[in-house]
Amino acid sequence: MARLSASTARSARGKPAANGAGTKRTRRERVADKEDAIVAAAYDIILAKGLARTTIAEIARRAGVAEGTVYLYFENKDALGQAVLAAFYARLTARAAAGVKKHAGVRAKLRFLARHHLESIMRESAILEMIAITDRNSEAYEGSALYRMNKDYVAVFDAVFRDGVLAGDIAKDKPLWIMRDVFFGGLEYAMRTIMVRGRKKNVDDAVAGIVDLIIPASAPAAAENDLARLTGRLETVAMKLESVAANKRAVRS
């Protein structure tokens, strides 16, 4: 995987991008760049080895800094892991938000989001293992940094879902929170199955199957059949009205 860029890492923390080439660097910008280099190095190594087998010494060598310098920015390895996780979520969310804008129709947007999520968590599963650092079942989870990052990410799905309900593509009786859990939970279980089987085709099957749970593939056909039946009934009524009108004209004449 390509190394996490400085601008990507910085965006995860909400810091401004560096000035253009030829512009004198401020001390704050130089400090930010060094921090970004440490996070980027940690990202690469954790992705390859996992957090438990990654050492601060390795990260320092990859970032081109002294080991003691890492501790000037991060209290410990877990704190650095949280920064890596923040960078992951920032990129995941940004790509999801940008991607849905390129697709027309609720089904196409959901298919994109499903593929984006599934392929991302398969590719960067070692990064997701760090979520265990924060206990998602604890009382401290709600309001935590992880909670906010996850909420920002799933908000992209929520917006597409609400648009689908308004457009009539998704049934109004489907609760958003349940469909959200079905969507992401189903994809995460699918990831485990696919990685065990090692079959690329299963990605397509998983994406189609999960989206069909929200918008059944038969829904458009059913809607067309309903419309056809309604049109037929209206035509029958129109023919009867015309027949009655014709009889009345015949009686008058």
| Tens of each residue's pLDDT in the chain, 253 residues | 334 444 445 544 444 444 444 466 788 888 888 999 999 999 999 999 988 899 999 999 999 999 999 999 999 998 999 999 999 999 999 999 999 999 999 999 999 999 999 999 999 988 888 876 555 556 677 888 889 999 999 999 999 999 999 999 999 999 999 999 999 999 999 998 888 877 666 899 999 999 999 998 865 444 444 455 555 556 665 666 666 566 666 656 6
CA distances from residue 106 to 152, 161, 199, 219, 232 in whole angstroms, order as listed: 20, 8, 27, 13, 29
Same domain, residue pair 199 and 237:
no
Neighbours of 115 (CB within 10 A): 19
> CA-CA distance, 180 to 205, in Å (whole number)?
19
Among 207, 183, 47, smallest CA distance to 119 is for 207
187 found inside a domain: yes
Last residue of some domain: 54, 74, 94?
74
* DSSP one-letter code for 26: P
84 found inside a domain: no
Structural domain range at position 235: 223-253
Helix axes 77-100, 56-63, angle to 10 degrees: 60
Same domain, residue pair 157 and 244:
no
